[in-house]
Structure 1
């Protein structure tokens, strides 16, 4: 969505679902990875005007703008790179290694594959599996203490940086 880029937001995910009628949910974040309530409000105002003009859906719907949250979806290669060392739940489109749902720690990317260290390892020797990116239907971070700690540390660092910018 080009409108997101000009406002310095990055699209994370779009969902259309039935909830009190139709709801168009747009999940986004700022380029620094944050998304405050004020940012959601700003983006909602910009997108509401844009969507009123473009009118992409042939029926009435509610617009919902949200942040990805702590247990965010992983939708790009860069998401898997950014969250190396954190736990994820990955669901594949088809069976791999006898299953479609994998829980494990993200090890990294290897060409067009996500490498994860499986909790309760499949490969007894290494505990790692390599999943082709094109096989992934859904992926998200798993809510853990280390993820919460990292989130608070990131927010604190960004607040300090913003305060320093205001003072200069």
Structure 2
């Protein structure tokens, strides 16, 4: 991924991410305030952006309330698809889920988006349910799950004690 930097999303990124959201998902776009609300909850949320010299070209977010993590969003600008950006974002979200002691990662994907479905299957996600007419335009959502192997227990007590 030459020339692409993955970093934590900041409040300063929200206008650009919001514009991309409306460009990429005109029917189901999140309002900008939703990204701000998500970023205000770092104890249960983790958001990333993919950036090039052209600006932000991808973003992704995770909600994790132990033991379940949920991919809230993942998107890559079409001109940058096929360069490994989506895979890198997803890899980092899964790593974050493990750090937060999740045992499974869930996500919804449009039934009419085979490219995204194939990405998730490559990562080991399996379809576990269908939500009929989940999206505003009536398209079904496929609910997919990735079972995570338990992270090492060493240090878990210290992490919990540090949060108390």
TM-score bin, normalised by smaller chain = under 0.3
The two structures have a TM-score, normalised by structure 2, of: 0.26
Greater radius of gyration (CA): 1
Higher strand share: 1
